[in-house]
Structure 1
Amino acid sequence: MWFKPKPLDIKEMVAGVSNLVSLPQAYFRISQMLNNPHTTAAQLGEVISHDPALTARLLRFVNSPVYAMRNPVDSVARAVSILGMQELRMLALASSVGNAFQKPPSDLVDMAAYWHHSVFTGIVAKQLGKLCKLPSVDRLFVAGLLHDVGQLVLAHQAPDAMRKVVALLPKYPHHRCQMEQKLLGHDHSEVGAELMRYWQLPESLWMPVRYHHAPELAPEYMLEACLVHMANAIADGVEPSRRGAAPLAYSPISPKAWEMSGLEAAAIAPVVQEANLELFDMLDIIAPSGGMVF
């Protein structure tokens, strides 16, 4: 029997999980430096080098098959000169998130499956952005990567309510947001966007996350929200079954997403094929402890 709960305060929820969810200080320093037009690639490289783990992940990212560099990139400064500073910010964020979260209760989130879905969604969103000829498609990868981050916050902050949601997902696989709204007063897309605002991430990242289940409602960055929405639906249809998910069946795709993107269903198969080629390299960089999902 559903009841109308007193909504949890979303800002308190996000602030309360901040000790469990944290990005490296180097990332925030990078962001500050990028707001200064006089920052050089060498200066960025020096800051990043103070975090050896971040440096290693960034260089693995840049040298992965995704970027198809002819010659190995052996310094962050060179990576910046090749990719650009804003792209580096996106890669620094993407390479940090896998280590940013403590594991939530295992009966609520299978972390291996969670990262598989998140990384696959990010790759597909980026590929769709290329088809739409959008600039800076790396931000679509990051938005796709983080689209379900609110689920981790809710699992930590409201585990009892989320157990009810998870128990009902096999029966109502496409109604997660509605169930979260009824039980908590907020859904994971709202909570994820609030966490990203708390991290001071730009609107171009958190807006697609906030509206990835209802892209037609996005007041800004509607096309980006549509592409993350489509990527999430495509990932639902091709990846291994997640707890409570409907396996091997696309989630419904909003007609607005097809309209805004100008894409047709025939575009999906090549995108999925390309994403499968990139998936495990990306998983190994972003969530190396997440394990494989078969």
Structure 2
Amino acid sequence: MSLPCQPRILALLMRELISEVPHMRRVNQLFGCDPVLAAQLMECANSSAYRMAAQVRGIPQALTLLGERQLRSLLKKAQAGMVARPIAGIDMGQFARVSQDCAKLARSLAGRVRLDGSVAYIAGLLHGMGQLVLHQTQPERVAALAAEAGLWDPRRPRVEVRHWGYSAHHTTAILLRAWCLPAEIVAAVQAMEAPLQDAQFDPMAGVLHLAVWRNRVKVSGWSERSMADAFPVDVALALGIDVDVVLQQEATDWSQSMY
């Protein structure tokens, strides 16, 4: 399956990797801007070819494992996605921005509860990949839900479950498992919509829940009163995170750091 990435990010990565001495911090930052490219990187790094299946937990580790030649090969394959049809119902630029904002906030919240920031970042960045696949493969079925709940509406997953019996994030978890990503990332995405329902609470799923919820309501334009009324306070309490930290905090600018 060929999914489109952002042409500008792909071009910048290609230019960086053909230079005599690639700036790997910059390469790291660019992969962290595009969920499609990051997914392809993580799938490659966790493949059997490198004998690291289900062990590569973040972008920096993946870049260390793959050499420059392998990275250039990966990007050339990504160019195939540039000729793919646009995905109906999804603005890919907005999708990438929202995914990165979720990743940044997830990493920031993970730091507050002493969880692995790289894992939180990649889970937040890739959490929406199921939406891309469903929109590409089942456009009519997905479009039927738009009138009831838009793509970024916090209520959308519940609408999906009511109509389909599962949400797009369950599809994401299936994809991540098929790509041999670490079990902790798969489990966090699988449980992120209802992290308190599992017998044993997964803090990473809770972090994802709060980060994704915060960005959904932000993109949906909810008022401060609406956000406060609907805030998932039970998840915040389970993590020991103050409500105001999530509602008032802008995601930390990690553009100068390693993801």
Identify whether the pair has TM-score above 0.5, normalized to the shorter chain.
Answer: yes
Q: How does 1:90-109 map to 2 (within 5 A)?
A: 105-109=86-90
Distance in 2 between the 1:171 and 1:108 partners? 8
In the alignment, does 2:138 pair up with 1:163?
Answer: no
Distance 1:206 1:104, change over 3 A: farther
Shift of 1:104: 6.7
The alignment status of 1:20 with 2:39, answered yes or no, reads no
The alignment status of 1:50 with 2:65, answered yes or no, reads: no
Which residue pairs with 1:266 in the alignment?
244
Task: Please list the CA deviations of residues 53-74 of structure 1 after superposition, one character each: whole Å capped at 9, or x if unmatched.
Answer: 4899xxxxxxxxxxxxxxxxxx
Equivalent position of 1:32 in the other structure? 51
Select the residue among 117, 133, 137 that pairs with 2:114: 133
The 3 A distance-change label for structure 1 pair 141 and 45 is closer
Cα distance change of structure 1 residues 109 and 262 upon mapping to structure 2, 3 Å threshold: same
- CA change 1:131–1:101 in 2 (3 A) is farther
Paired residue type of 1:259: L
The whole-number CA distance in structure 1 between the counterparts of 2:179 and 2:54 is 15
Cα deviation, residue 106, structure 1: 4.2
Distance 2:191 2:81 in 1: 23
Deviations 1:25-51 (A, max 9, x none): 742257524789xxxxxxx85842222
- Aligned amino acid, residue 20 of structure 1: S
Q: 1:200 aligns with which of 180, 196, 201?
A: 180
Paired with 1:172 and 1:202, the residues of 2 have a C-alpha distance of: 27
Q: State the shift of 1:142 in Å.
A: 0.6
Unaligned 5+ segments in structure 2 are 4-38, 56-62
In the superposition, relative to structure 1, how do residues 26 and 227 fare at CA in structure 2: closer, same or farther (>3 Å)? Answer: closer
Amino acid at match of 2:169: S
1:254 pairs with 2:232: yes
Alignment equivalent of 1:154, drawn from 129, 134, 143? 134
Confirm whether residue 121 of structure 1 aligns to residue 102 of structure 2: yes
Gaps of 5+ in 1: 1-18, 37-43, 57-95, 287-294
Match of 2:93 in 1: 112
The 8 Å contact of residues 119 and 144 in structure 1, kept in 2 or not, is answered as yes
The aligned counterpart of 1:82 is none
Identity in percent: 18
Alpha-carbon shift at residue 172 of structure 1 (Å): 10
Residue 165 (structure 1) shift: 1.1
Change (3 A) 1:104 1:165: farther
Within the candidate set 140, 157, 163, 1:183 is matched to: 163
CA positional deviation for 1:260: 1.9
CA contact (8 A) 1:229 1:253 kept: no
Deviation at 1:178, TM superposition (A): 2.7
TM-superposition CA deviations, 1:104-161 (whole Å, max 9, x none): 7544111111111111001101100111122x22100011111121111111221111
8 Å contact kept, 2:103–2:121: yes
Q: Distance in 2 between matches of 1:157 and 1:235?
A: 25
Query: Shift of the alpha carbon at 1:167?
Result: 2.5
What residue identity is the alignment partner of 1:196?
Answer: L
Q: Secondary structure at the residue paired with 2:40? A: coil
CA distance in 1, matches of 2:118, 2:48: 20
Q: Is the 8 A contact 1:177 1:187 kept in 2?
A: yes
Partner of 1:234: 214
Distance 1:180 1:33, change over 3 A: closer
**Is the Cα contact below 8 Å between 1:147 and 1:192 reproduced in 2?**
yes
The alpha carbon displacement at 1:222 in A equals: 1.3
- The change in CA–CA distance for 1:34 and 1:206 in structure 2 (over 3 A counts) is closer
On the 8 A contact 2:130/2:172 being kept in 1, the answer is: yes
Q: Please give the TM-score of this superposition, normalised by the length of structure 2.
A: 0.66
